[in-house]
Homo-oligomer: A and B are copies of this chain.
Amino acid sequence: MVDESTERLNRAFAALADPVRRDLVARLATADATVGELAEPYDMSLQAVSKHLKVLEAAGLVTRSKQAQRRPVHLDAEVFDLMTKWIERYRAEAEERYRRLDALLESTADDTNTAQSRTKDAS
C-alpha cells in the first residue's frame, strides 16, 4: 500500500510533465472540446492525442463524457488543489528556514556586518 494521494500526485505531476498535455489542459481551461478538435493543431495522429487524454483522465485532470459518437473532454480542476497544496507546503517550509537563517546570521554578525541577509554567497 503506497498511500493513495502519493499515487495521485505521481500521476498528476507526470501528466503535466509533457508539454502537449499541458497545452491540452490550457486549451480545455477555456472550453470543453472533442478529441478531434483537440488533435487538430498538432502534427500528430489522432490516436496519439487520444492516448494523451487517457493519461490526463487517469490523472483525474480530465473527464470524458460520451454524447452520441463524440466524447467531449472536460477539465476537472480538482486535482490542481492537491498539487498546489503539496508545493506550497514545502515552499513554505523552505522559506521559513531562510527566515530563521537570516535571523541567525543577523544576530551572529550583528556588530560586524549588519546588513546583507541571505545573498547568493553566504560563504
Q: Residues of A with Cβ closer than 8 Å to B?
A: 2, 6, 9-10, 13-14, 16-19, 22, 25-26, 28-31, 67, 75, 77, 80-81, 83-84, 86-91, 93-95, 97, 123
**What is the count of identical protomers in the complex?**
2
Residues from chain B with a CB closer than 8 A to the CB of A83 are 83, 87
Kindly state the separation between the CA atoms of A25 and B94 in the bound complex, as whole angstroms: 10
Residues from chain B with a CB closer than 8 A to the CB of A91 are 29, 77, 80-81, 84
A97 touches B67 (CB 8 A): no
A13 touches B9 (CB 8 A): no
A13 touches B6 (CB 8 A): no
Residues from chain B with a CB closer than 8 A to the CB of A77 are 90-91, 94-95
Residues from chain B with a CB closer than 8 A to the CB of A89 are 29
Residues from chain B with a CB closer than 8 A to the CB of A90 are 25-26, 29, 75, 77, 80
